[in-house]
A and B are shown apart, each in its own frame.
Chain A
């Protein structure tokens, strides 16, 4: 199991500048001030990422009205894992109607900067873009009733200007597929 790098919690989030599946560039920091931002690593081929995906979509839809920003990032090596190609990413976004951009980290630099380990691996940032929670969406990828509870409690706390009840959990999922 991957271990959370809890030392980063409380610190500033690394900058991010990546294209989405339509080529639009998304940055962090960005213009405007989101009261909270969720950056999470995911991919197309990992059963853990797929099992949790609908829950993350629901969170994005539930917190969208509060202007919470969501950025999904795929850093996997698409040469060895063709299901994670940009084209396959684009197909998913269009077919499934994703409510957040799906960013392509072809160089894998973003994953290195953030020390992302697994898909999924989540980071919740506050208004000042400090990392306030890092880890898994909830305690059990196999139980939809968990409802991304850890992510939701972190967001609720950040939006209320409070400390999340837990600031780090172990990210659970498939390892990031690094280029060889």
Chain B
């Protein structure tokens, strides 16, 4: 999904940096709240609410309210476009 959106926006899909978080200590350092976490220029595509840091599966809430293992594509797209615009809001 991320690579699709990057390609659609004229970005290089191969420029994605994939990081594997292996330990709880790594999770603490990265403020990692679950897999997959997607950050664009450091900004999470769906800012964690009160999720605890740790090695776990990430639970996303789609815009229509459904629970999903992946973020809402519109959230991802918006974050990507905001990063391209150089802003954060």
Contact = CB atoms under 8 A, between A and B. Distances in A.
Q: Is the interface of B mostly helix, strand, loop or mixed?
A: loop
Interface residues of A, number: 14
Contacts, number: 36
B66 to A, nearest CB: 7
Interface string A122-157: 000000000000000000011010000000000000
A45 interface: yes
B57 A47 contact: yes
A117 to B, nearest CB: 14
A82 B67 CA distance: 20
A81 interface: yes
A80 interface: yes
Given A142-B66, A144-B66, A47 B59 contact: yes
A45 B66 contact: no
A47 B37 CA distance: 13
Interface in A9-59: 45-48, 50-51
Given A47-B57, A50-B59, A81-B55, 14 more contacts: A45-B34, A46-B59, A47-B60, A47-B68, A48-B69, A80-B24, A80-B54, A80-B55, A81-B56, A82-B54, A142-B66, A142-B68, A174-B57, A174-B69
Interface of B: 24, 34, 52, 54-60, 66-69
Interface of A: 45-48, 50-51, 80-83, 141-142, 144, 174
11 contacts: A45-B34, A46-B57, A47-B57, A47-B58, A47-B67, A51-B66, A81-B54, A82-B54, A144-B66, A174-B57, A174-B69
